[in-house]
Copies of this chain bind each other. A is one copy, B any other.
Amino acid sequence: MPTNSPLTQITLTGLPGIPHVQPGDDLARLVVAGLEAASLRLEPGDVLVITSKLVSKSEGRYVDLGTVIPSPRAVDVGKRTNKDPRLVELILRESTSISQIGGEVLIVRHRLGFTLANAGIDHSNVGREGDQWVLLLPEDPDASARRIREALRALTGVGPGIVISDSHGRPFRIGTLGAAIGLAGFPAVWDQRGSRDLYGQVLRVTVTGLGDELAAAAGLILGQGAEGLPVVLVRGLKLPPGEGTAADLVRPVELDLYHHEQN
């Protein structure tokens, strides 16, 4: 029984040929080159999911640990977690509080509101010689997302939705999952409360983390490429109207039953 209505279908495509990015590189131009390499053009409704690492590199968010002088508190936390105190110093500078320490795991509340390990500071795949360099998250990933969106609109005539994704561990669950830490062009949270379900009943809990769904979905492509596919084009989604930011996905502390702070 063939159906007459079109299929609901979404395609995730890893853009090929995005090279190693240097500070100051224009990500929008690299994305356009990647689209051309895939024989694709941006269309209205497209969303691009870009790894935070790529954005951080283009924004030059490197720090040489050799230049960091750890505070006494960083030295103390470093001892407790078996981490380089200079790295801990950077983690604490990027955070508003420590959420939990367990063994060598240091989970903080990032200054942008995200609760995550090591303030998202990356020690692997930084692409610089030696073990001294680390990479911070983008300074303001929502602003980065807006900037990339507008640059792509200027280059191609289409301003796509943008998600800047980071890989986060989670309470209760094993394994990391992509999360949206920057977003532009559509609502990060999709509130369908009040809409009717199949039986005409009002849906009760239907506030969906759309930005995180996209970041997690793009993780399927990232996993295929050993970090060689840092930009994923998502096509086919009917996006809800409106504009949002990744900050909308941060649960306020007073509404978070699992918020925790310690010294």
Q: Which residues of A contact B (CB under 8 A)?
A: 1-3, 5, 7-14, 16-17, 20, 33, 36-39, 100, 102, 105, 107, 114-115, 117, 123-125, 127, 167, 169-179, 188-190, 192, 195-199, 201-210, 212-214, 216-217, 219-221, 223-229, 234, 237-238, 248-251, 256-260
Contact = CB atoms under 8 A, between A and B. Distances in A.
B250 A174 contact: yes
Contact of A8 (B173, B214, B221, B238): B221
Contacts of A220: 10, 210, 213-214, 217, 234, 237
B3 A7 contact: no
Given A9-B14, A223-B210, A249-B174, A257 B197 contact: no
Contacts of A217: 12, 213, 216-217, 220
Copies of this chain, complex-wide, total 2
Nearest to A202: B124
A118 B192 CA distance: 20
Chain B CB within 10 Å, residue with most, of A16, A175, A213, A216: A175
A176 B17 contact: no
A185 to B, nearest CB: 16
A37 B199 contact: no
A205 B121 CA distance: 12
Contact of A177 (B9, B17, B213): B213
Given A8-B224, A12-B10, A258-B260, A177 B212 contact: yes
A2 B198 contact: no
B1 A8 contact: no
B226 A195 contact: yes
A86 to B, nearest CB: 17
A55 B167 CA distance: 30
B8 A225 contact: yes
A180 to B, nearest CB: 9
Chain B CB within 10 Å, residue with most, of A13, A234, A250: A13
A224 B238 contact: yes
A163 B176 CA distance: 17
A169 B5 CA distance: 32
Contacts of A36: 1-2
B201 A124 contact: yes
